[in-house]
Chains A and B, each alone.
Chain A
Amino acid sequence: MTRFKEAAGPTPSCIPIERIGESLTPEEHAHMRTCARCQTELALWQQFESAAPAKDEGAAVTWIVAELERRAGSPQRQKSAPSRRWGLSGQWLAAAASVALFVSVGYLMWDREPAIRNPGGTTGQYRTAQLDVIAPLGDVAAAPREFSWKPAAGAIRYDVRILEVDGTVVWRTSIAEPRLVVPPDILSRFVIQKPFLWEVTARDTADAAIGSSGTQRFRVVDSHRGG
C-alpha cells in the first residue's frame, strides 16, 4: 500500500492543482494524458465546477445553503447590506480563531495549501477544461437574442444556465450546438440595467463535464444614456 501511495502521489512534473482548471500548455496537456494523479485532480475539479445536481441531494443542499446563510448572518437574497458578515460576526470570529488555531497546528504537521501561482508567461497555450464564451459579455446595447461560445472538442452537449445575480435561475437548458437562441419569454426578462450571470458546461458522451465557462456576466444598458 505504501508503494501505491507513492505512485498515486504528485510528482515534480504534475500540474499544480490551482492550474488544473485553467489553460494548459502543450507540455501540461501531454502530461495529463498519462498521469493518474492529474487526471484525478481534473475529474474532481470538473465535478466541483459543473455543480450538476445528483438525484436526491436537492433537499440536503438547500438545507446546507440555508445553514451557511444562517451562520453567516446573511438572509437569502438580502437586498440591503447585512449587518453581520463573514468578517464581522463575533460568532464567526470566535469560530475563525478556533479553526485558525487548529489549522495552524495542522499546517505544521501536514502539508501546506498551495498558493495561487502565476502561470509564468507561457506561450502557445490552448484551452482544455475552460470554455471560451463569445457573447453576451459585459454591458450590451440590446437584450441578447443569442448566447454563444467556442465549441469544445469531444462535447456532445452543452448545459447552459442563466441566473440573476442572487443565484435565482432564470433559465436552464441543454443544447448540442455552441450557440443558444433565447426564447421570447426569457428575452423579455433581460430588462435594461439589470445584470445577469450565465455559465455553460460542456459534456461528453459519458455525460462527464469536460469544460466550463465559469460564471459570466452581462447587462443590457440604455444605449441612448450609456451604461
Chain B
Amino acid sequence: MDPRDLSDEELVARAAASSGSERDALVNVLFSRHYERVGRWCFRFTNDREAAADLAQDVFLKAHRHLADFRGTSRFTTWLYTIIRHESLNRLRRAAPVMETEDALEDVAGDDDPYDATERLHTAERLRVLLSEVLDQVERVVFTLHYGDDMPLDSITRLLHLENASGAKAYIVSARRKLARARQRILAKGQGL
C-alpha cells in the first residue's frame, strides 16, 4: 500500500518496523502532512516567518528523534502537540523575556511576609480558586499564559485566535479589574488571601 494512504498512526507503526530509506520515506510522508498545522502554530507564536520555520524545524527534529516513544495511546497530532508546546515554552524561557513589572498578583496576593513554603502553597491554592470563581474562561486562559508561562500578549492573541480590537490585553485588563474587586471583597470580610 502507498504510504500516503495510511493514517498517521499506521505510518508511525510502519516506520517503527522499517529501517533505512524506507523508514525515512514513511517519516517524510507523516511529517509533511503536518507542516501547515505546525507552521501555523509557530508563526502565531513567533510572528516571524524565519523564526517560525526554525521553531518548526526543531519540533520535527525532536519528533523524529523521539518517534519510537510514540505508543499509539493518543492520536499522533496530540503527541506532536506535546512537543510543539514544550519547544515553544522552552524558547520563551531561553529568551528570558523581560516581562512588564505588573503587580497584578501582588494586588491580589497581598504582602510577601511572612511567607514560608506552606503559606505559599495555601496562597497558590486560594489563588486557583479565585481564578476559577472570578474570571471567565478566556480571561483565565489569557491570564495563565501571560503570568504563568510568561507568554507575550501578542503571541497569546495570535495563538488563541482572539479577534477583538486589543486582543489579549483586553482580557488582562478585565481580569485584573475583577481580581482587584474580589480582593477588596475578601479584605472587607477580614479574610487573608
* Residues of A in contact with B (beta carbons under 8 Å apart): 1-9, 11, 17-22, 34-37, 39-41, 43-45, 47-49, 51-54, 57, 60-61, 63-65, 67-69, 71-72, 74, 81-82, 85-88, 92, 95-96, 99-100, 103, 106, 110, 113-119, 130, 165-167, 195, 214-217, 219
Q: Are B82 and A116 in contact (CB under 8 A)?
A: yes
Which of these, A61, A96, A99, A215, contacts B40 with CB under 8 Å? A61
A166 and B4 contact, CB distance less than 8 A: yes
Contact between A95 and B28, CB atoms less than 8 A apart: no
Q: Which of B56, B93, B140 contacts A68 (CB 8 A)?
A: B56
In the complex with contacts A4-B127, A64-B43, A18-B62 CB distance below 8 A: no
How many A-B pairs have beta carbons closer than 8 Å: the answer is: 238
Nearest first, the 6 closest Cβ-Cβ pairs linking A and B are A8-B148, A85-B24, A7-B127, A64-B39, A4-B105, A6-B124
Chain A proximity mask over B50-68: 1 for CB below 8 Å, otherwise 0? 0011001110111011100
**B64 and A57 form a contact (CB under 8 A):** no
Verify A68–B60 contact, CB threshold 8 A. Answer: yes
CA distance A17 to B144 in the complex (A): 15
Instruction: Evaluate contact between A96 and B86: CB separation under 8 angstroms.
Output: no
List of A residues within 8 angstroms of B40 by Cβ: 51, 53, 57, 61, 64
Q: Is the CB of B140 within 8 A of A39?
A: yes
1/0 contact string of B9-31 vs chain A (CB within 8 Å): 00000000000010111011001
Query: Is B49 in contact with A118, judged by CB distance below 8 angstroms?
Result: no
Closest to A118 in B: B73
Contact call A92/B27, Cβ cutoff below 8 A: no
A139 CB to nearest B CB, Å: 10
> B75 and A36: CB pair below 8 A?
no
Mark B85-105 against chain A: 1 for CB-CB distance below 8 A, else 0. 110001001100001000111
Contact A47 B5 (CB under 8 A): no
Q: Are B73 and A5 interface neighbours, CB within 8 A? A: no
Question: How far does the Cβ of A168 sit from chain B's closest Cβ, in whole Å?
Answer: 11
Find out whether the CB atom of A64 lies under 8 angstroms from the CB atom of B79.
no
Nearest chain B CB to A206's CB is how many angstroms away?
8
Residue B187 interfacial (CB < 8 Å): no
Closest Cβ–Cβ distance, residue B56 to chain A (whole Å):
6
CB of B78 closer than 8 Å to a CB of A: yes
Whether the pair B7, A22 counts as a contact (CB closer than 8 A) is no
Find out whether the CB atom of A165 lies under 8 angstroms from the CB atom of B128: no
A113 touches B83 (CB 8 A): yes
A8-B144, A35-B128, A116-B79 as given contacts; A165 in contact with B94, CB under 8 Å: no
Alpha-carbon distance A8/B108, docked complex (angstroms):
14
Determine how close the nearest CB of chain B comes to the CB of A82; give it in whole angstroms.
Answer: 6
Q: Tell me if B116 counts as interface (CB < 8 A to partner A).
A: no
Is B172 positioned at the interface, with any CB of A under 8 Å from its CB? no
Task: Decide: A37 near B86, CB < 8 A? Known: A96-B64, A115-B69.
Answer: no
Q: Is B185 an interface residue (CB 8 A)?
A: no
Q: What distance in Å separates the Cβ of B79 from its nearest Cβ neighbour in chain A?
A: 6
16 further A-B pairs in the complex, CB-CB below 8 A; given A19-B74, A117-B73, A130-B75 = A3-B124, A8-B143, A9-B148, A20-B78, A34-B132, A36-B132, A47-B160, A52-B161, A57-B44, A64-B56, A68-B39, A99-B58, A116-B69, A116-B74, A195-B2, A195-B5
